[in-house]
Amino acid sequence: MEIWYEKPAGKWEEALPIGNGRLGAMVSGKTDSEIIWLNEDSIWSGKPLNRINPDAKKYLGKIRTLLRKGKIGEAERLSLMALSGTPNSERSYETAGELFINFDNAGKTTSYRRGLDLDSGIAYSEYEAAGTVYKREMLSSYKDQVMALHMTAEGKEKLGFSMRLGRCHNNTDEVWAQGNRLGFYCDGGEGISFAVVSQIETDGSVERIGEHLVIEGAYEATIYLAIETSFRNEDYKTAAAERLEKAAAKGWKDIRKDHLEDFESFMKRVRLELGEEKDIPTDKRLAALRKGKSDPSLFALYFQYGRYLLLSSSRGESLPANLQGIWNNSLTPPWDSKFTININTEMNYWMAETGNLSECHLPYFEFLKRVCENGRKTALEMYGCRGSVAHHNSDIYADTAPQDHYIPASFWVMGEAWLSTHIWQHYLYTEDKEFLSEYFEVLQASVDFFKDFLIEGEDGCLVTSPSVSPENTYIMKDGTRGCMCEGPAMDVEILLELFDGYEGACRALGKDESLIEEVQKIRDRLPKLGIGKHGQLMEWAKDYDEQEPGHRHISHLYGVYPGHCISAKKTPELMKASEVTLKRRLSHGGGHTGWSRAWITCLWTQFGNGEKVYENLKALLCEGTFDNLMDNHPYGPGAVFQIDGNFGTAAAMIEMLVSWAEGELKLLPALPKEFGTGFVDGIRLPGNKTLRMRWDKGKVTECEVF
């Protein structure tokens, strides 16, 4: 499958992404002055800090008392001072820099085409000028841990160009050019330092002029790029130089061959066919879809693009995919491009198992280990609790203290608990007991925290306090507006999911029955989910009105998806109330961000409503997608890229084809009529099984589970 265009990218949001998990680039494909934006996932601002507020434990009791008495404003004002991290913000992900190439053959071109082959992970461009065909291919090699750009000229003319490296207009410390190499270094001091280096191999001439390399008279040229950081290697400069040496010695052909073998082994695991393939530029297909034209195969392309982005931004020893995966062209990206763990990071991995990319889940779990380690200190020093806790954000240092002075989100203690629920999900699909044993202590630490943190509510139930329902605001009967509360529905649902996974892990690993009994006693005392005056699932412990009925978060529907505590079979009344909740949100303008609409689409699959599934899939592509198929997130007067919408939508498309709940396999549970005929192969099921299925007119005609 291929994304392609008849013109170069005019801006970053139109460029095409490549990545190997750690190293990424956005490729423009310009014919005159090419710019390629570079990324390495461990380039972040600042040094690690202990941000735990030293006064948190001292004032925790008072904050809880104020909440219990309904003095919400006082509790929130005190929390801003006593619970907020010091300093209040974590570190931010940063761009590595840019590769600039100025071509001598600039001028009139014909037969232009640029694209991204999803199976191979290669971005390309080709065009004709002055009787010469110019071709480029760029990849990010997982095996060799370098990026490589290969260029050729076939015809009357030869390749001629100059090249240089930069970073957001001189945000470097040392820029150099020597022989056939260019590079720069950035000294992060006590933080993260790094090197960006390149080497060119060509059959033409190479001349150094200032910070440029000038290449002339070439039929072929390959630029190798290496980026290394002090986060992973103290001697990052030497490490980068050695990467280049090995890559140049191996050569483009062998690097490309090994890359193809590796990348295709993941991407070709899954096939999805929806209608006939179309050899039409992707931007034109999107434009036609917006005008009402039918194009089922465009949705299949979008699905595979989601898998492509995960494979390219989460592999091996990489960090997990952040808010932008790994692709970012700024030193100050929106929301710092961190790990937002009140849905966004988790959503990035909803389709890791079902989409047959289980290995891509592993960087998430390695990160979770570090979160757990830091969270033990946060739990003890902030709350006087055993176990481990994280709030709604984290960064490269796996920070676990509250982030920002933002009451609707900051003082929420469920971040690590939600992250930890993925441990049991990974086991259900892989049946990897070694993995489960390795991560059992993370589950244990999260459970242990709530053994101590939960307090008795007014009705005798055990509740979280303080907490919030991310990132919403309620209105009390007297008109008081507040965010902080006790025992919101989402907290209860996450705890049920956490305890389910913990109990399952205990049984699978043969742990002492007393561990299960202890958790079951806590579970029995959790608040029951309620139904409010509109017939909706209550978001808070009391039937409050919402300040923003169309809020982007639908936190209390976690139990429907990705959680499992609410279902038509097990809790039909709560399931009905959940559907009322979803309809109310949408009737007030909900779903206006990519990730939110993706979550909404996942929810409609659980309600078996194929019509609504298609309506939201189409809205996401028509309204929430850049022409390069990256998720388009509203931000100020414009929009920015945020990757969770891509990942969440891919998860939703799997859920519309197959669901597995309470041990029951359902085929085509929410298939839109627009996708009435199709084929899928490679979707993963619990129990380490795989599904192959064909359907026609909405009915399964062939099915195999193996």
pLDDT at 661: 79
The reported pLDDT for the residue numbered 54 is: 97
User: In terms of Cα–Cα distance, which of 616, 677, 533, 88 is closest to 336?
Assistant: 88
β-strand pairing of 474-475 with 462-463: unpaired
Given a cut of 70, whether residue 645 has pLDDT beyond it is: yes
pLDDT score for 637: 85
Look-up: residue for tokens 């470097």?
Answer: 172
Element (H, E) at 110: strand 110-117
Say which amino acid occupies 316.
G
Question: Rounded CA gap, 23 and 38, in Å?
Answer: 8
Return the sign of the alpha-carbon dihedral for residues 38, 399, 368, 647. negative
Q: Which helix (H) or strand (E) holds 577?
A: helix 572-587
As a whole number of angstroms, the distance between CA 481 and CA 54 comes to 28
* Average pLDDT of the residues in 75-85: 98
Q: Per the structure block, which two tokens stand in for 535?
A: 């017939």
| Mean pLDDT, residues 501-524 taken together | 97
- Min mean pLDDT across 122-126, 258-262, 630-634 is at 630-634
Closest CA to 326 of 680, 22, 660, 658: 22
Structural tokens at position 138: 């760029």
Return d(Cα 147, Cα 25) in angstroms, integer. Answer: 8
Residue by residue, DSSP assigns 241-303 as HHHHHHHHHH-HHHHHHHHHHHHHHHHTT-EEEES----S-HHHHHHHHHTT---HHHHHHHH
Q: In the chain, what percentage of residues exceed pLDDT 90?
A: 95
pLDDT at 41 over 80: yes
Beta-bridge partners for 367 = none
Give the mean model confidence (pLDDT) for residues 587-605.
Answer: 92
Q: Which of 643, 639, 591, 644 is nearest to 619 (CA)?
A: 591
Is the pLDDT at 19 greater than 70? The verdict is yes
Return the structure tokens found at 62. Answer: 């008072």
Strand order in the sheet with 545-546: 481-482, 474-475, 545-546
Give CA–CA dist 469/409, Å, rounded: 8
Average pLDDT on 58-69 reads 98
| Strands ordered across the beta sheet of 271-274 | 271-274, 678-685, 689-696, 699-705
pLDDT-derived band of residue 587, with 50, 70 and 90 as boundaries?
Answer: very high
What's the Cα-to-Cα distance from 132 to each of 106, 108, 150, 153, 236, rounded to whole Å?
A: 12, 12, 16, 6, 40
Residue 244 tokens read as 């280049």
pTM: 0.97
Burial of 355 (0-12, 13-18, 19+ CB in 10 A): buried
C-alpha to C-alpha distance for 89 and 405, rounded to whole angstroms: 8
Q: Which of 578, 575, 589, 582 is nearest to 612 (CA)?
A: 582
pLDDT recorded at residue 664: 86
For residue 555, is pLDDT > 90? yes
Residue 106 has pLDDT above 80, yes or no: no
Q: How far apart are CA 187 and CA 366, in angstroms?
A: 27
Helix (H, G, I), strand (E, B) or coil at 613: helix
* β-sheet bridge partners, residue 221: 151, 202
- Work out the end-to-end distance of the chain between its first and last CA atoms, rounded to an integer number of angstroms: 25
Query: What integer best gives the mean pLDDT of the chain?
Result: 96
Tokens (6 digits) for 165? 């490296």
On whether the 2-45+95-268 domain is CATH 2.70.98.50, my answer is: yes
Report which of 384, 546, 431, 414 is spatially closest to residue 57, judged by C-alpha positions. Answer: 384
- Contacts of 265 by beta carbon, 8 Å cutoff, 6+ apart: none
Beta carbons of 469 and 485 less than 8 angstroms apart:
yes
Residue pLDDT, tens place only, 372-420: 999 999 999 999 999 999 999 999 999 999 999 999 999 999 999 999 9
Residues near 451 by beta carbon (within 8 Å), at least 6 away in sequence: 386, 387, 518, 522
- How far apart CA 10 and CA 406 sit, in angstroms, is 36
Strand partners of residue 117? 2, 122
Q: How many CB atoms lie within 10 A of CB 70?
A: 14
Domain locations in the chain as residue ranges: 2-45+95-268
Q: Strand 205-209's sheet: what is its strand order? A: 16-19, 23-27, 33-40, 97-103, 159-166, 212-218, 205-209
Q: What confidence tens digit (pLDDT) does each residue in 519-552 have?
A: 999 999 999 999 999 999 999 999 999 999 999 9
Residue 316: the pLDDT is: 97
How many CA atoms does the CB half-sphere of 412 hold within 13 Å?
33
* 683-694 per-position pLDDT tens digit: 999 999 999 999
The CA distance from 172 to 331, in Å, is 12
576 close to 324: Cβ distance less than 8 angstroms: no
pLDDT band at 572 (very low <50, low <70, confident <90, very high): very high
Contact 384, 376 (CB under 8 A): no
Give the span between the Cα atoms of 94 and 44, in whole angstroms.
5
Q: Write down the pLDDT at residue 591.
A: 78
**pLDDT band at residue 243 using 50, 70 and 90 as cut-offs:** very high
What DSSP character marks residue 14?
A: G
pLDDT for 331-358, tens place per residue? 999 999 999 999 999 999 999 999 999 9
Query: At residue 662, does pLDDT exceed 80?
Result: no
Say if CB 140 and CB 171 are below 8 A apart: no
Q: Which helix (H) or strand (E) holds 217?
A: strand 212-218
**Cis before 471? omega within 30:** yes
Residues 6+ positions from 459 with CB-CB distance below 8 Å: 527
DSSP 584: H
Contact of 402 with 383, CB cutoff 8 Å: no
In the DSSP assignment, the letter for residue 361 is G
Q: How far apart are CA 507 and CA 436, in angstroms?
A: 11
Question: Which structure tokens are listed for 630?
Answer: 């990256």
Q: What is the mean pLDDT of residues 8-26?
A: 97
CA atoms within 13 A of residue 650's CA, in its CB half-sphere: 33
- Percent of the chain clearing pLDDT 70 (strictly above): 100
Q: What is the pLDDT of residues 415-449, one digit of tens each?
A: 999 999 999 999 999 999 999 999 999 999 999 99
Question: What secondary structure letter does DSSP report for 466?
Answer: S
Beta bridge partners of 681: 271, 692
The answer to whether 371 and 398 are in contact (CB under 8 A) is yes
Chain length of the chain: 706
